[in-house]
Every structure is written in structure tokens, then in C-alpha cells.
Amino acid sequence: MSADGKKQLTFLDPEKLANNARVNDTVFQFLSIVSGVVCGILGFTDLAGFAFFLVFNVFIGAAVVAKLKFQHVHFFPSLDLIFVNGASNSLGTFVLFWTLFYNICHLF
Amino acid sequence: RGRLVCTRHNSASMFDDPHKLASVGGFLLLAHAVSLVISYREDLKISGIEFAGVPLFVLAECLIGSLCCTWGALGFSGEFQPIAQQPRELPPDNMEKMHDFVTFNHRGTGKTRKE
């Protein structure tokens, strides 16, 4: 909104939007491996494991926002593009490494 | 005449990038934590004690390894770029000079046609 109350159009660069989404996805995918390994080491099962996944993803999103110097509006149209997209794309990777390392540490 | 100096802007190997080194170090810490938990579980089996939780030093290793991997991932994954589109100068309008598309057979010829 401008000073006189009228809406203003903001033109976004689609290439930079795609680049930021790709970088965010890379960070979440890599750290979902780490979170799965840590969750398996700590021996979490059932809902405790998924709660750990949510907590860790909040930490990852906060780290990304901190890297953006808390000015995410200049890099992402909305905050949920950081948290929700990143977490939803990395859930499968987390479950894979969680089950693998739980089996290695606590079953075999 | 000046010399041609060739410089490497991108790190050619993993060891030149501190972020990648930090990630590898974090994974090594986590691997060491895995070995510690396995040996801890074996000791519990021998002594007959039920597993209640991992020791504190394993928790500390997991935390430090996670932080190293986080810092490394934020570094080597790439840079975020501002999404606001920068104003750019448009090419000059030279349609008037494109004689190939000029046509004289249009509706306006009916007005000027003499009867």
C-alpha cells in the first residue's frame, strides 16, 4: 500500500523466485537427512519422532530466516513458502533416515 | 603490456569450502555418536538394564553435529537473491522503420477512393 492508500503492484522476477525456492529446498532436504539421523540415534518412536521432525523444521526455517537477516519479504512473497514447502518436501527423506538409523542403533 | 592472470572463483575441491568441510565434520560427529549408542546398548544388554535414553555426551555430539551441518548447508546450498524485478531499459521502438509490414490495402482506402 502506498502513502495515499492505493494498492501498488510489485513486479517479481520469476527466475529469482525459482532460485530461492531451489536453495530453500536444498537446505531443507539436506537437513532432513541430519534430523532423521539424529532422531534415530536418540531412539524416538511414533509421535515423538514426528514431533521432533516438526521442531527441527521450525529450527531450520528459523535458520533460513536468520540467513536472510530477518528480511524475508525481499526474498520470498510469504513466510509459508519457507516453512511449509521446505517441510513438506523433506518428510519422506526424514522418515527414511529415521527408520534406517533407528534400526542400526537400537535393533541390530 | 599487462599479464593475463587466471584466478579460480569457484572452489575446485571440497576442502576449499569451509561450509562443505563443516558439513562433513558434522556427519563424522553423528557417525561417532552412532558408534557410541551401539556400544552403550551392548553394555546395557550385558548388564541387563533396560534402555531409558541416550547418555548426555551422545546428546551433546548430536547437537554439535546438527549445528555444524546446519551452518554448512546454509553456506553451500547457494545464495538467496532479491525477488523484486529491477527496472530495465526497453529496446527502442523502431516499428516505423519496418517497411516489410506496411500495407496499403486497408479499410481507409475506401474513404480516399475517388468515385
Distance from CA of B3 to the nearest CA of A (A): 36
Residue B10: closest CA among B69, B72, B76: B76
**Closest to B74 (Cβ–Cβ): which among A10, A11, A67?**
A67
Q: What is the DSSP string of A49-99?
A: HHHHHHHHHHHHHHHHHHHTTT-GGGT-SSTHHHHHHHHHHHHHHHHHHHH
| pLDDT at B21 exceeding the cut of 60 | yes
Report chain A residues whose CB lies below 8 A from the CB of B50. none
What is the rounded CA–CA span in Å between residue B34 and residue B30?
6
Q: Which residue has the higher pLDDT, A5 or B21?
A: B21
Across the interface, do B59 and A10 touch by the CB < 8 Å criterion? no
Residue B69: closest CA among B114, B37, B112, B33: B33
Angle between helices B56-76 and A46-67 (to 10 degrees): 40
Distance from CA of B26 to the nearest CA of A (A): 9
- For the entire predicted model, the pTM comes to 0.77
| pLDDT at B88 exceeding the cut of 90 | no
What is the rounded CA–CA span in Å between residue B38 and residue B76?
31
- Mean pLDDT, rounded, for A63-80: 91
| pLDDT at A50 exceeding the cut of 90 | yes
- Predicted ipTM? 0.87
Question: b/e per residue, A44-60, with b = 16+ CB within 10 A?
Answer: beeeebeebbeebbeeb
- Mean pLDDT, rounded, for A71-88: 90
Report chain B residues whose CB lies below 8 A from the CB of A26. 73, 77-78
Read off the pLDDT band of B8 (50, 70, 90).
low
| pLDDT at B10 exceeding the cut of 60 | no
Cα dihedral B58, B62, B64, B68 sign:
positive
What is the rounded CA–CA span in Å between residue A107 and residue A105?
6
**Closest to A30 (Cβ–Cβ): which among B30, B73, B81?**
B73
Sequence length of chain A is 108
